[in-house]
Structure 1
């Protein structure tokens, strides 16, 4: 390499951006590995304790009650003093990317980590996916502040943290990339793709070093291809509609109960203690529906349950997940959504087996399809759902069914005009006066925006566009050529403004 080439690499602004994205991936991988290890340790301890309590150990029950009171006090104080750590963290990340909110990144990183371990590890029906994503975004925010990069690069770095967080949480680097594009950006540029890919892959390397490279699920499923294409499509379509209805019921009631919970005329601490009291009851009598639910998916896949028990597990898990999300404790919905979808799929498969006189033929198949379908119904991310289940199962045999069920679920929920849960939660979060708002810089900032097919700008002349106040369109990139725009210049899909 010549000195001129080396000098170009050093001065190229994107090289620094790519380097920082890799650092973010490594740091996020380390933090999420520690987070997963802490959750696993607490979960194993909780299961052991509640199993002994169920067998009559009253001393452990008293210790658990006092411990849960302490956890409730800590969590109640954390979420009220630091509202940016509430819930899954996805609405907060969206606000950061839109430059509406601001992190006190180091404090909130610690509090999100501790709060997530306490709330998820103590048995509430919350997941690790959302918190892992927010932890990644907080690390990215800290890296950006530490290295004093330009404001224009903040979105690339935050997106890298998001991608790395999901990748490290589920051993799914491709899902991290797809999720960042599908949920947060809805467009793709080469620089964005390189940044999030570097971060996602770096995080995955760290996870493999510490936790190994096994897939989360390893189901030996028979794909029902000998029943005929028409029947298979028909069954999947019916199932997609049923899961879509279940997703709408879940989302609607979760939001209604959150509103009802906030309007209850008790102190926030008393309400938090009530949630943990219910959690203790659930842990003693219905241990399978307490906690994240990952073990319940494995049980559903490998053990036989009666139709009645499976129905009780589905209803119980749905209700307990709604209750657990009401206070806003740190925790997400990725794995609880997977559990609810798996239970719904197993019930549907059991029904088909009974009608057609088959023996456990459809159960695991629809269990996997149910996980992707329910995530699509609640979060409206069909591409991520498909890729996530492929990476979690390690099998491409599910792909045709996954594509069909997520498409049908998405179409059904779209017809009902149901927005994603995270977008509704973001709108609610914007109304929170305790959120730290970002003060926009008065310096000149240059940024790019791609024009997608179907955009309202596609085919419009520059002079007809109502541009934002105090903004200036300086050039249009089209087919690797720079165009200096005039008033009569037409904007086309594929352009980069």
Structure 2
């Protein structure tokens, strides 16, 4: 055989289908970006409103009764909205999307899309410890499926590509993190590198959705930190200990969250669609105690890492009105952070298990940040860590805890880098995240969404019930 010419080696011009899917991905990304940006904006504005409402109730206790009544009415409305599609709308929605892509379920995109949007707002805005990113991912997937079925009239393969685009676009828009959105698709959904067509389309969707969010929220990263100190190599033993702790804590998280359906299943007196009454009422005393702990919550992380908290291990502690009141000594600060960690962990589980629409991304990051703050506070108090590294430890812990639970270390490191707006400290991020991942893997941990999907599918008693779920119509 003679030597091939350049023309014979390369593909023929204008024959690639990649450009068509890039166009489809951009379309999915643009629409998802608008929907998610509005979703984010409403949540952000409502949370700011809670920072006024709860201090007002503290000063006017009689208004708490009115708030409780309003909460019960909201729960009733939420239940009626989500009940027709409860199986598909509850939780983050990511396990449901995985099941759809694996041909285990059929989802009616419009019925899920609007219910996820409205139901997600009704669950997250009152301050439940739920993240916006799960609903954003599912809404993006619904948009991708809708375009495939209603506009392009594609086959099942085309639908799955469009679903992938929606997944990447949804996460990208939720955190303004396009690279993490595309990586999440690989590590959590496809569990490997898909074809170039899928990658290009998903990346195009992620970039397009991020461009839309930039118009809504500007260029500032969603968790913008400035941390210039670098942990010296001689102190890397601290990162090993931190990684081990977070790996153990991550395995505990997986075991507890997978047990929630069994525990909530014992609450037979209340129909599943209205289980949200439990966290919606319990969140009120938490908000009265410390309002900034409510929600996902970006503001809580920013409060936890604020200069007045870092200074002397926060010789002051937040109260319900958002100000700081003096508490005695470093140990009191440590106890306070431990209490916050316990509240965040327990109520994150109560919120997610109650058949409510909401995600676990941000709650996981908050738990990681609080765990890092507690570890750093203890080490600084013991004289084993300089105060200047407090912020570093918090950021490393966010990535490691997320990476261990999601079993997605690349996504974790890139996501935190994009959210924080810095790639200066990549090495310690990788060290802590890798150790936490290995520890959870050694203890039998799995990618959390795959595990949640298996638990969800096991709840289908028989083929008839599965067929009924697949046949739900709006």
Contact 2:50 2:291 (8 Å CA) reproduced: no
Alignment of 1:355 with 2:359, yes or no, is: no
Stretches of structure 1 that go unaligned for 5 or more consecutive residues are 1-6, 440-497
- Distance 1:77-1:425 versus aligned 2 partners, 3 A rule: farther
Alignment of 1:156-195 (within 5 A): 156-185=161-190, 186-195=192-201
Greater relative contact order (Cα 8 A, min sep 6): structure 1 or 2?
2
Q: Distance in 2 between matches of 1:181 and 1:357?
A: 39
The answer for the alignment partner of 1:454 in structure 2 is: none
The answer for the alignment partner of 2:317 in structure 1 is: none
Contact 1:341 1:373 (8 Å CA) reproduced: yes
Q: Distance in 2 between matches of 1:389 and 1:17?
A: 29
Structure 1 SS opposite 2:129: coil
For residue 230 of structure 1, report the CA deviation from its aligned partner. Answer: 4.0
- Distance 1:271-1:100 versus aligned 2 partners, 3 A rule: closer
The answer for the alignment partner of 2:242 in structure 1 is: 239
Alignment of 1:122-137 (within 5 A): 122-137=126-141
Alignment of 1:62 with 2:65, yes or no, is: yes
With 152-161 and 133-142 compared, the bigger mean Cα shift is at: 152-161
Contact 2:79 2:274 (8 Å CA) reproduced: no
- Distance 1:332-1:349 versus aligned 2 partners, 3 A rule: same
The answer for the alignment partner of 2:209 in structure 1 is: 203
With 264-273 and 420-429 compared, the bigger mean Cα shift is at: 264-273
Cα deviations by residue, 1:368-395 (Å, 9 ceiling, x for unpaired): 0111111122211111000001101111
For residue 277 of structure 1, report the CA deviation from its aligned partner. Answer: 1.5
Alignment of 1:205-220 (within 5 A): 205-220=211-226
- Distance 1:21-1:271 versus aligned 2 partners, 3 A rule: closer
Contact 1:126 1:336 (8 Å CA) reproduced: yes
For residue 57 of structure 1, report the CA deviation from its aligned partner. Answer: 4.4
TM-score by length of 2: 0.86
Cα deviations by residue, 1:24-79 (Å, 9 ceiling, x for unpaired): 000000000010011112212222111211122423x2332122112211222333
Question: After the TM superposition, which segments of 4 or more aligned residues of structure 1 sit over 6 Å from their partners?
Answer: none
The answer for the alignment partner of 1:333 in structure 2 is: 360
For residue 438 of structure 1, report the CA deviation from its aligned partner. Answer: 6.0
For residue 95 of structure 1, report the CA deviation from its aligned partner. Answer: 0.9
Contact 2:279 2:347 (8 Å CA) reproduced: no
Alignment of 1:141 with 2:145, yes or no, is: yes
- Distance 1:314-1:372 versus aligned 2 partners, 3 A rule: same
Structure 2 SS opposite 1:216: coil
Q: How many residues align?
A: 428
Alignment of 1:109 with 2:113, yes or no, is: yes
The answer for the alignment partner of 2:84 in structure 1 is: 81
Structure 1 SS opposite 2:445: coil
Q: Distance in 1 between matches of 2:385 and 2:21?
A: 56
- Distance 1:437-1:405 versus aligned 2 partners, 3 A rule: same
State the structure with more CA Rg.
1
With 337-346 and 184-193 compared, the bigger mean Cα shift is at: 184-193
For residue 172 of structure 1, report the CA deviation from its aligned partner. Answer: 0.4
Match of 1:323 among 346, 350, 367: 350
Q: Distance in 1 between matches of 2:343 and 2:180?
A: 29
For residue 259 of structure 1, report the CA deviation from its aligned partner. Answer: 1.2
Contact 1:50 1:283 (8 Å CA) reproduced: yes
Q: Distance in 2 between matches of 1:95 and 1:103?
A: 9
Contact 1:134 1:165 (8 Å CA) reproduced: yes
Q: Distance in 2 between matches of 1:189 and 1:81?
A: 36
Stretches of structure 2 that go unaligned for 5 or more consecutive residues are 1-11, 315-332
Q: Distance in 2 between matches of 1:270 and 1:15?
A: 46
Contact 1:136 1:162 (8 Å CA) reproduced: yes
Match of 1:154 among 159, 163, 181: 159
Contact 1:171 1:213 (8 Å CA) reproduced: no
- Distance 1:254-1:399 versus aligned 2 partners, 3 A rule: same
Q: Distance in 2 between matches of 1:414 and 1:209?
A: 40
Alignment of 1:298 with 2:302, yes or no, is: yes
Match of 2:19 among 15, 20, 24: 15
Contact 1:247 1:378 (8 Å CA) reproduced: yes
For residue 196 of structure 1, report the CA deviation from its aligned partner. Answer: 0.6
Structure 1 SS opposite 2:388: coil
With 272-281 and 403-412 compared, the bigger mean Cα shift is at: 272-281
Contact 1:170 1:216 (8 Å CA) reproduced: yes
Contact 1:170 1:392 (8 Å CA) reproduced: yes
Contact 1:182 1:384 (8 Å CA) reproduced: yes
Contact 1:223 1:398 (8 Å CA) reproduced: no
Structure 2 SS opposite 1:103: coil
Cα deviations by residue, 1:108-158 (Å, 9 ceiling, x for unpaired): 111000011110111110001111000100000000011201222122111
The answer for the alignment partner of 1:468 in structure 2 is: none
Contact 2:166 2:205 (8 Å CA) reproduced: yes
